[in-house]
Amino acid sequence: MQIINKKRHIILILICAFTALSAAAQDLLARQAPIDRRMKVADTVSVPDYIIDNDDNLAKELYQDWDNRYAHRASELPDSFTINLRHFCMPTQSRVVTSNFGARWGRMHKGLDIKVYIGDTIRAAFSGKVRIVRYEARGYGKYIVIRHPNGLETIYGHLSQQLVTENQEVRAGEVIGLGGNTGRSTGSHLHFETRLCGVALNPALMFDFRNQDVTGDTYAFKKRSYDRESADATRLRGKIGNGGYTRDMVQGNSMPKTSSDDLNMSNEPRYHKVKSGETLYSIARTRGVNVDQLYKLNHLSKGTKVRVGQIIRYS
C-alpha cells in the first residue's frame, strides 16, 4: 500500500512538472512571436525589392561564356524578355541622331549614329563589365563593348580614345572613352549599339537622345512585335537632320556660338589618358591649358607625378 502511494506521488509530481514545462514553452513562444512577425515583415519588404533591382543573374542566364574575341556572336533570342532601364546614363549629351537603325546603303546599320565631336565625353550607359576594348580599321574603329547585368550589351564605336580596359567593372555614367572618327567613318560621331544575345536591337526602343532619357523603366522585348515596335521607335525618335551642327546645337543649347574658339569653351568635362613619358606639364601643352588648371580640376597637389593609364581631366 505504501509503495502504491509513493508511485501515485511520483506520477503526480511528473504531471505537474510536464504542465509547468509546457506553460513555460508557450510563454517562450509568445515572447518570440513579435520578433518572428517583425522578421517576416522585414523579409516581405526587402526581398522583393532586391529581386526587382538585382539583375545579376539575367546576363548569366542569357550568355554561356565570357569571350573577349568577338564583338558579338548571335545566339537564340528568347521569345520575350524584359530589360531593366533604370539606373541608366545617356552615353553622350548630344541630342542629334544623324543615322537610324536599319537598312542603309544596301546593308544593315545595326545602331544609331549620334553626332559628337572628337574629344567629347562618352559614358557607360549602364553599370557592367567591359568585355572588349579593340580597334577595327574597316568597321567600328576604336570601340568598346560592355556587358550589363540587365542582359544588354552596349557597343561604342569610332572613338578617338578608349579610357577603360577589358574585364574592368564600370558604373553607369563612368567615362569610358572620347568621341572620334576612327574606323569606317565619314565624320566624327558615336556609333551606339544595344544587343541582346548578340542580336542588335534598335537603340531607339530604349534611348531617346532628343530628350536625353530612356523610354521607360523597362523595355519588354517580344519577338512577334519587335519589327513593328522598332519602326515606330525610329519614326518617333530617329534621325532629325544632317551635318553642319555647332557643338551647342548638338548639346541642345539655345544660343549657338559661331567662332571656333567658342566651340572649345563647352562646359562638358574632357579627359586625357596618360601615355608613357607624359607629365602634367606636357599634357597641359598638348591640351592647350595651364598646368595649374590640371592641378585644380584633378585635386592634385603640386609636384604630383602622373602614372601611365591615369585619367586626367583637363576642362
Residue ranges making up the domain that contains 43:
14-51
Contact in structure between 159 and 177 (CB atoms under 8 Å): yes
Would you tell me how many other CB atoms lie within 10 Å of the CB of residue 74?
A: 11
How many structural domains is the chain composed of? Answer: 3
Residue 119 has pLDDT above 60, yes or no: yes
Is the pLDDT confidence value at 27 over 80?
A: no
Whole-structure pTM value: 0.66
* Helices and strands (DSSP H and E) totals, the chain: 7, 19
* Domain end marker among 237, 260, 287: 237
Question: Which CATH number belongs to the domain containing residue 291 in this structure?
Answer: 3.10.350.10
What is the DSSP secondary structure assignment for residue 16, as one 8-state letter?
H
Q: Spell out the long-range contacts of 101-104 with Cβ–Cβ below 8 A and sequence spacing 24 or more.
A: 101/200, 101/202, 101/203, 101/204, 101/230, 101/234, 101/238, 102/202, 102/230, 102/234
Digit-coded pLDDT (tens) for 248-273: 767 665 433 333 333 343 456 778 88
Residue 63 lies in a domain: no
Q: Which three cell numbers stand for residue 199?
A: 542580336
